[in-house]
Amino acid sequence: MLLVMKIVETSLWVSGALLIALYCLALVWGESARQQGIAAFDEHKQQQATAARSSPLASIAAARLAHTLPASMTPALVPQSIGAHWSAPVTATDADVIAVLRIARIQLEVPVGANTTEPVLLRGAGLIAGTAAPGSVGNVSIAAHRDTFFRGLKDVVIGDLIELEMLDRSDSYRVAALSVVKPTDVYVLADTGEAALTLVTCYPFYFVGNAPQRFIVRAVANVVHPQPPRR
C-alpha cells in the first residue's frame, strides 16, 4: 500500500512538474515566434523597399506578395493581372505576417496574421475573417489570446495610440472606447464607414478556459502616413 502511494505521489509530482515545464516552454516558444514574426515582417519590408527602388512594377507585386491577403480581401485598386506572375490570387498562410501592431504605452508589439486559427494566435494576433484588411478605410478587427499577447489590453486607456504597421505604410489609431460584450455581439466588427481598429480578446483577463465575455478596444484613425511617392 505504501509503495502504491509512493508511486502515485511520485507520478503526481512528475506530471505536475512536466505540465508546468510545458507551460513555461510554450510561453518561451510563443515569445520566440513573436520575435521571429516581427523579424520576418521587417525582412519583407526591406525586400519590398529594394524592389521598389529597382522597379516600380515589381514594387506593387512585392507589396501584394508581402500583404499576402486572401483573394477575397484583394483590394479593388490592385490589378488582378500585372504580368504572368500575378494572374493567380495570392492567399495567406498561417505563417504569414500581414502587419505589426504596436501599443507603445503598454509595450505591446505583436505580429498580425491573416486569420484567427490557433497556429496564428500562438504566434501573435490575427485578423478576424470578414473584417477590413489593414490599411483600408473599414473596421480592421484583430484578435489575440488574452493570456499571452493581449493581456496587456487590460491596461489600455482611452487616448492611447495604436500603430498598425504594414509593408507600405503605417496607420495610427487612437483608443476611443473600451467595452465588454457578449461573444455573440458581432456588431463591434461591423463597418461604420470610417477607418477604425477593433481589438478583441477574452474577458475576464484572469480566467481559466473559455471566458464568458469579450473585451473590446475600439480605436479610430488618428493620422495616416502614406508612403512618399515613388520615383
Residue 69: all three cell numbers together: 491577403
161 binds other proteins (CB under 8 A): no
Helix (H) or strand (E) run with residue 156 in it: none
Of the pair 42, 147, the CB lying nearest other proteins is at 147
| 140 in Cβ contact with 69 (< 8 Å) | no
Among 32, 54, 80, 93, binds other proteins (CB under 8 A): 80
In the bound state with other proteins, the residue whose beta carbon lies nearer, of 18 and 104, is: 18
Q: How far apart are CA 46 and CA 100, in angstroms?
A: 14
Q: Is 150 in the site for other proteins (CB under 8 A)?
A: yes
41 grid coordinates = 515582417
CB of 185 to other proteins, least distance (A): 7
In the complex, what is the shortest distance from the CB of residue 212 to other proteins, in angstroms, rounded to a whole number? 10
Could you say which residues in the range 13-42 bind other proteins, by CB under 8 A?
A: 13, 15-20, 22-23, 26-27
* Of the residues 28, 104, 137, 180, which one makes contact with other proteins according to CB under 8 A: 137
Strand partners, 217: 178, 199
- Residue from 99, 101, 197, 200 in contact with other proteins (CB under 8 A): 200
| 3-state helix, strand and coil shares in percent for the chain, rounded to the nearest 5 | 40, 25, 35
Could you tell me the smallest distance in angstroms from the CB atom of residue 4 to other proteins? Answer: 11
Residue from 3, 5, 84, 157 in contact with other proteins (CB under 8 A): 5
Helix axes 56-67, 2-54, angle to 10 degrees: 160
**DSSP class of 27:** H
